[in-house]
Amino acid sequence: MDFILDKGSSHMGCKGCSKRQNNKLNTYDWLCDVPDAEGSTDFVEVQFKNTRKGYYLNSAKIPLEKGDIVAVEASPGHDIGTVSLTGKLVLLQMKKNNVRTEAEPKRIYRKAKPTDIEKYEEAKAKEHATMIRSRQIAADLGLNMKIGDVEYQGDGNKAIFYYIADERVDFRQLIKVLAEAFRVRIEMKQIGARQEAGRIGGIGPCGRELCCSSWMTSFVSVATGAARYQDISMNPQKLAGQCAKLKCCINYEVDTYVEAQKRLPSREIVLETKDNNYYHFKTDIFKREITYSTDKSFAANLITIPASRAFDVINMNKKGMKPISLEADTKPQPPKRDAQDILGQESVTRFDSVKKKKKKRPANKNNGENNGNGNGANTTATAVTNTDAPVSENKNNGGNGAGGNNRRNGGNNRNSNRENNRDRENNRENNKDNSRENSRENRENNRDNNRENNRNNRPKQRPRANNDKQSNNDKPANNDKPQQPIKQARPDKTENRPETKPEA
């Protein structure tokens, strides 16, 4: 038997053991490969539209497999359906669905012929138009009901109308009008909102197919108390399913929550301490922790304690004793591990490099000396002697610092050598920066001194008659821009000439 990949799931063909996903309320035949399982019974499960199923007797011993289209007995006429289950598992499904075998069962006539399938397709094509018109007729008659689906029989002689109603509805007049309008035999079936959602189908908020359309056949009423036991938020939009009723899956785990709640203190008990009285606020069943509040109506001074501590306080209150505080006096110690280290007493982090404390770098001292030398150079009057001293001093300091570091860290590991290399690079960078700053400052000092000397060596000149105008030499020097050497001003010819007074 070949494996065929269909829609992401591998199964042994449509007639194999696997669960088919194209119909509702499918049953996985887990007995299909058991010897003599197929011939253990003559009953066959036949599925019709949506979730309607029936169990029929194969009295003619027709060889049937899953997926075969057959004509079965109906009243009146015959119906067309698809074989969904055969073998011994059919008896288990009949017992599950409370189908009695004592009464005379309906029979399978034959495998469907082409003429049977043509009539069946014609009847199915009329279902949607019939449903729309029947809704209009019910509204005209003023009936408080909703017709949710219409299903024609395989031979087209009968139609089943599925309706939803909150109260009892007298539809005798409706049946007469529908029989006159469609010329078929009318059967009315009342279903609930959950059955309607199962017939329509869909995807739930969990991402899977709806339970009512995949496997659930018996519907139990769901109460809001089941949601309260599980501490689920009372949000109607989250609690309601596609049928606008409470989700059926709320009932799945409520019994487990009820059993767990019995092993916790009652919510009505008030815990008394010397400071205050504490009322139940919420319970975490998974962690077995209870949160108490000092006020009944709202959260105030919330304290979370384990269930064992709550039982201890309750027992103390019964004896007439009150603890100082609701929390335990000593914090619980974590349990000691008796298991030995499977790595042979070796740490997982033994290969990680240990970060050592960084020592103070000598670069800071060099920076301080360099800055001091630079400032001293600005105040000196001579420029030539100041330019050479700081540079040589920086080199010596850098060499001494690097050599001292190398001697100190000579016996260390690779990490300390890397640190020394980084320190040496930093010292070199600092020395270079300091030497540049000092040379720059010395150059500016030399320029200022040269200007002063030039001004002192100039011959004294007589003041001009116009005192408002000043020579260009009196302008303040701009130290930011590189300055050119100042040329000596030539004496004006007019000033050297002897003054001559005009004769009268």
Separation CA 371–CA 390 (nearest Å): 10
State which residues form the domain around 142: 117-197
Is position 3 within any domain? no
146 and 193 housed in the same domain = yes
- Pick from 57, 81, 110: which residue ends a domain? 110
93 and 123 housed in the same domain = no
CA 217, 220, 221: angle at the middle one, nearest 5?
145
103 and 28 housed in the same domain = yes
The pLDDT assigned to 435 comes to 74
| Average pLDDT rounded to a whole number, residues 428-438 | 75
Residue 245's H or E segment, with its range, is none
Is position 372 within any domain? no
DSSP string, 4-41: EEETTEEES-TTSSSPPSSSSS----TTTTSTTSGGG-
Domains identified in the chain, total number: 4
- Pick from 93, 110, 127: which residue ends a domain? 110
Is position 427 within any domain? no
Residue 312's H or E segment, with its range, is helix 307-318
- Pick from 92, 110, 128: which residue ends a domain? 110
**Long-range contacts of residues 248-252, Cβ cutoff 8 Å, at least 24 apart:** 248/194, 248/211, 248/212, 248/216, 248/219, 248/220, 248/222, 249/206, 249/211, 250/222, 250/226, 251/220, 251/222, 251/226
Asked if pLDDT for residue 479 goes beyond 60, the answer is: no
103 and 125 housed in the same domain = no
Is position 62 within any domain? yes
Highest mean pLDDT among 227-241, 383-397, 436-450: 227-241
CA 349, 354, 360: angle at the middle one, nearest 5?
165
Residue 392's H or E segment, with its range, is helix 384-408
Q: Which residue has the higher pLDDT, 154 or 386?
A: 154
Neighbours of 491 (CB within 10 A): 11
Q: Which residue has the higher pLDDT, 450 or 401?
A: 450
Which segment of 109-118, 137-146, 184-193, 324-333 scores lowest on mean pLDDT? 324-333
251 and 274 housed in the same domain = no
**Per-residue pLDDT reduced to its tens digit, 272-295:** 998 889 999 988 898 899 999 998
Instruction: Give residue 216's pLDDT band: very low, low, confident or very high (50, 70, 90).
Output: confident
Is position 382 within any domain? no
CA distance to 81, 97, 435, per residue, from 103 (Å): 22, 15, 114
Is position 295 within any domain? yes
Spatial CA neighbour of 146 closest among 135, 131, 161: 135
234 and 310 housed in the same domain = no
Separation CA 433–CA 417 (nearest Å): 24
Is position 485 within any domain? no
Is position 406 within any domain? no
Residue 230's H or E segment, with its range, is none
Separation CA 179–CA 146 (nearest Å): 18
Separation CA 253–CA 453 (nearest Å): 103
Q: Does the reported pTM lie above 0.75? A: no
For the purposes of burial, counting CB atoms within 10 Å of the CB of 134, is it exposed (0-12), middle (13-18) or buried (19 or more)?
buried
What's the one-letter identity of residue 33? D
Instruction: Give residue 305's pLDDT band: very low, low, confident or very high (50, 70, 90).
Output: very high
Asked if pLDDT for residue 201 goes beyond 80, the answer is: yes
32 and 106 housed in the same domain = yes
CATH number, domain at 165? 3.30.300.20
Asked if pLDDT for residue 480 goes beyond 80, the answer is: no
Asked if pLDDT for residue 503 goes beyond 90, the answer is: no
- Establish how many alpha carbons lie within 13 A of residue 338's alpha carbon, considering only the half-sphere containing its beta carbon: 0
CA distance to 359, 386, 404, 426, per residue, from 356 (Å): 9, 41, 19, 19
Asked if pLDDT for residue 6 goes beyond 50, the answer is: no
99 and 61 housed in the same domain = yes
179 and 248 housed in the same domain = no
Contacts of 67 (CB under 8 A, 6+ apart): 14, 15, 20, 82, 83
191 and 252 housed in the same domain = no
What's the token pair of residue 479? 């130290």
**Residue written as token pair 């949160």:** 291
**Per-residue pLDDT reduced to its tens digit, 90-128:** 988 888 888 887 778 899 999 999 999 999 999 999 999
Q: What is the mean pLDDT of the chain?
A: 76
Q: Which residue has the higher pLDDT, 352 or 214?
A: 214
94 and 127 housed in the same domain = no
Instruction: Give residue 325's pLDDT band: very low, low, confident or very high (50, 70, 90).
Output: confident
86 and 139 housed in the same domain = no
The pLDDT assigned to 133 comes to 95
